Amino acid sequence: MMEDLINSKLPDDQLIEIFRRIDSNSDRDSCCLVCIRWFHLERLSRKTIQFGRSGRNESTNHMVRLFSRRFVNVENVFINELSVWTSTRLGKRRPVHRRSASAASFPHGSDENMSDEYVIKDYCLSDSGLAAVGAGFAKLEKLSLIWCSCVTDVGLRSFAERCKSLKSLDLQGCFFGDEGLAAVGESCNRLEDLNMRFCEGLTDMGLVQLAHGRRQTLKSLGVGACANISDVSLEAVGSHCKSLDTLSLDSDVINNKGLVSVAKGCPLLKVLKLQCVNITDEALQAVGRFCLSLELLSLHSFQKFSDRGMYAIGKGCKRLKNLMLSDCDFLSNKCLDYVAVGCPELMHIEINGCHNIGTAGLKSIGKSCTRLSELALLYCQRLDNDALSGIGEGCRFLQALELVDCSGIGDDSICSIAKGCRNLRKLHIRRCYDVFFFPSAFPAHNFFSSFSCLYCEISLPEFCQLVMKCTLHYSKFSQKIFYLVAHYNFHFHHYQVGDRGIMAIGQNCKFLTDLSLRFCDRIGNDALISVSEGCSLHHLNVSGCHRIGDAGIIAIARGCPQLSSLDVSVLQNLGDRAMMELGEGCPLLKNVVISHCRKITDVGFGYVVRKCPLLESFHVVYCPGITAAGVTTMVTSCMRMKKILVERWKVCARIERRGASIINYLCIEL
With residues binned 3-state (H G I as helix, E B as strand, rest as coil), the percentages for the chain, rounded to 5, are: 40, 15, 40
What stretch of H or E contains 130?
Answer: helix 127-136
Which residues make Cβ contacts (< 8 Å) with residue 290, sequence separation at least 6?
A: 263, 264, 267, 316
Q: Considering only CA atoms, which of 145, 126, 135, 122 is closest in space to residue 165?
A: 135
pLDDT at residue number 123:
65
Nearest to 20 by CA among 78, 96, 86, 76: 76
Distance between CA atoms of 132 and 150, rounded to whole angstroms?
Answer: 15
- Phi, psi for 427 (deg, rounded to 5): -135, 120
pLDDT of residue 53: 54
Cβ proximity of 161 and 134 under 8 Å:
yes
Cα–Cα distance, 59 to 549 (Å, whole number)? 50
Cα 155 from Cα 115, distance rounded (Å): 24
Q: CB within 8 A of 566, min separation 6: which ones?
A: 539, 540, 541, 582, 586, 589, 591, 592, 593
Q: Find how far residue 602's CA is from the centre of its chain.
A: 33
- The SS3 assignment for 368 reads helix
Rounded to 5 degrees, φ, ψ at 16 are -60, -40
pTM of the prediction?
0.82
Which contiguous run of DSSP H or E holds residue 507?
Answer: helix 499-508
Q: Which pLDDT score, from 0 to 100, does residue 1 have?
A: 43
Helix or strand holding residue 325 (H, E): strand 322-326
Q: What is the DSSP letter of 599?
A: B
In whole angstroms, what is the distance from residue 400 CA to residue 426 CA? 5
What is the distance between the alpha carbons of residues 55 and 62, in angstroms, rounded to a whole number? Answer: 14
Q: What is the pLDDT of residue 121?
A: 52
- The b-or-e profile of 619-641 (16+ CB within 10 A means b, else e) is bbbbbebbeeebbbbbbeebeeb
Please enumerate in sequence order all residues whose Cβ is within 8 A of that of 629, keeping only pairs 6 or more positions apart, or say none: 602
- Pairwise CA distance, residues 7 & 209, whole Å: 53
Specify whether the CB–CB gap between 125 and 61 falls below 8 A.
Answer: yes
Residues in CB range of 221: below 8 A, 6 or more apart: 194, 195, 237, 241, 244, 246, 247, 248
Q: Note the pLDDT tens digit of each residue in 629-646.
A: 999 999 998 988 999 999
What one-character-per-residue DSSP string does 552-587 give?
HHHHHHHH-TT--EEE-TT-TT-BHHHHHHHHHH-T
pLDDT of amino acid 200: 86
| Listed residue (228, 178, 170, 169) closest to 207, CA to CA | 178
Residues of the chain below pLDDT 50: 1, 54-57, 84-120, 432-442, 444-461, 467-495, 669-670
Closest-CA residue to 393 (of 374, 412, 370): 370
pLDDT at 10: 87
In sequence order, the 6+-apart residues with CB closer than 8 A to the CB of 47 are: 20, 73, 74, 75, 76
State how far the Cα of 237 lies from the Cα of 227, in Å rounded to an integer.
17
Q: Strands 435-437 and 491-493: what pairing?
A: antiparallel
